[in-house]
Amino acid sequence: MKFVVIGGDAAGMSAASRAKRNRPELEVIVLEQTEDVSYSACGMPYNIADAERAVEDLVVRRAAVFRQKQGIDLRTGHRAERIDPGARTVFGVDADGKAFELPYDRLLIATGAAPLFPDVPGIDAPGVVALKQLQDARRIKALLAAGPVKQAVVLGMGYIALEMVEALCERGISASMVKPRPGLLPWLDAELAEKVREEVESRGVGVHDGREIHRIEEADGRLSVVCSDLTLEGELVLSAVGVRPNSDMAADAGLALGPGRAVAVDTRLATSDPNIFSAGDCADAFHVVTNERVWIPLALRANRAGWAAADNVCGKPTEIEGVAGTAVFKVFDLQVGRTGLTVAEAERAGFSPAAVTIKSRSRAHAHPGSSTVYIQLVGDRKNGRLLGAFMVCREGIHRINAAAVALHANMTVAAFAGTDLAYAPPFGPVWDPMLTAANQLVKRL
């Protein structure tokens, strides 16, 4: 049997490696359009922050290892362009620009996601960049090295935008952020979001939300981002307004799409064609709270889905649970985390949500080094079920994982409040902040 994988990053290489472990005799071919495979995309902002650190440090496993030690036919520089499900064939162009046809018995689409750019004049000017692939990190570091880059403008205020303004500040670059819609991290409770804004602004970063971006102008090696009542200037503009799934090839092949035009898959990662699977940032998932299809591209899901797809290709029936959208990120000295549904998302899903926001401490009373922890919990008035958790702190963000486990277990807020969480003064109060929030939410419900 011939197993062909399109895409050589997290999901694709996890699937290829797993398939070879399951069935060493299996012919596994991976088509990757770039020269990079198996790297830590999430580590790119931190790498960019360090001028002396090589981008290649982010490579987890080099292509030669997959080829020589695992027996995977990894073809870098090969761009898949079309899939014919009837003929079970992938068509594309190889590294020399020659067309190829590759038949398959089973196929995995792991094409990832692509960065979005605002549709404004000048967005294609030199010096306007995005950060999604390893080659993007190389380009940004090369621009910074060629310099001088004294000012930068970041379009957007999401995870990557916030991580990148920290990275730019680490390099001594003055940074500003801008986006059309009001609110920094609109999915975060207003009180918690204000703490993030205060942290960012305290580092000299300009935060300009609610500003429509009209155009980008270039003159004398500098860029001007022209907004309503505001013009921001710099030598570098980073677009961090979001990503879209690379699903056009799947759509052209007649495969069903889900939310956000992600490739629709079942719990086995199979698409609407039983011979084709999909995993990673291009594929959708089911939400553990709503049981509805969602598109939430995150690293753990990509790796786990790659494994599950490979198991099913190899005849080992495997289903994986859905996602809770659990995510954490760092911005300067703050840690931010979320899992589950916001109040607005819960309302749209048909729940009757109630929420509480509490302020607690990261360590026991009078223990040195303690800092403030902010937590919001969301629950359902109808059945008492925990629906979501959000957190801002300076230490201890992994508390969010307890709430994520509770969501996967369909726990009520009362049951979560009764869990036996660890205590020691250096790590938290006797009543862990998560338990304090849960007890308050029980009263509200």
Catalytic residue from among 42, 282, 314, 393: 42
Specify whether the backbone of 22 is left (phi greater than 0), alpha (psi in -120 to 50) or beta. Answer: alpha
* Distance (Å, whole) CA 386 – CA 133: 36
Distances 314 to 139, 206, 237, 300, 342 between C-alpha atoms, Å: 39, 52, 45, 21, 38
CB 410 within 8 A of CB 416: no
Provide φ and ψ at 105, rounded to 5°. -95, -45
Whether 282 is a known active-site residue: answer no
Beta strand residue intervals within 285-409, DSSP E: 285-286, 293-294, 327-331, 334-340, 353-361, 372-380, 386-393
Q: Which residue has the tokens 């060493």?
A: 24
Q: Which tokens sit at 341?
A: 């549904």
Which residues have a Cβ under 8 Å from the Cβ of 155 and sit 6 or more positions away? 118, 161, 177, 178, 179, 213, 225, 237, 238, 239, 240, 241
CB 360 within 8 A of CB 429: yes
Q: Which residue has the tokens 């009263």?
A: 443
54: buried, middle or exposed (CB in 10 Å: 19+, 13-18, 0-12)? exposed
Q: Going edge to edge, which strands form the sheet with 79-84?
A: 79-84, 89-93, 99-103
CB 443 within 8 A of CB 417: no
Active site members: 42
